[in-house]
Structure 1
Amino acid sequence: MPNSNDLSLRDRQRAFSNALANQRLAGQEPDPRTVAELALVVNGELTIETVLERVRARIAAGDFGQKPDR
């Protein structure tokens, strides 16, 4: 599977939009904070590994599902 460096910004944006749409079609609303962080992955500002670490930490702390601090 290609990494994010191998994909164009447009491809990453399309994949991100499709993933969100699939979640919503399945009846699940994506966690707003995670969505915000994944948008940073699309733009090359974070790695997916960092987002996964943050999600795991929020789950462990009972904070998963909180809105981003913006």
Structure 2
Amino acid sequence: MSKTIALSGTKNGVISVTKINEPYGDGSGTVASIGISLNGQADNPEWKVHIPLDNLDEVIKALQELK
């Protein structure tokens, strides 16, 4: 699963959201990878964060509270 979202306030920027299985090698936990690319290259973001799926519900709740 992967999704690309236009980054508000930029001409070409995107936010990429991807599910990555075993990102750190065999047996490592699945993560949600969120990347920011100012030049529109979703596969090569300048910034990214990996959130373990076990933490995803809590992170989503915290983001919704910011809104």
The structure where helix makes up a greater share of residues is 1
TM-score (norm 1): 0.31
Name which structure has the greater RCO, CA cutoff 8 Å, separation 6+: 1
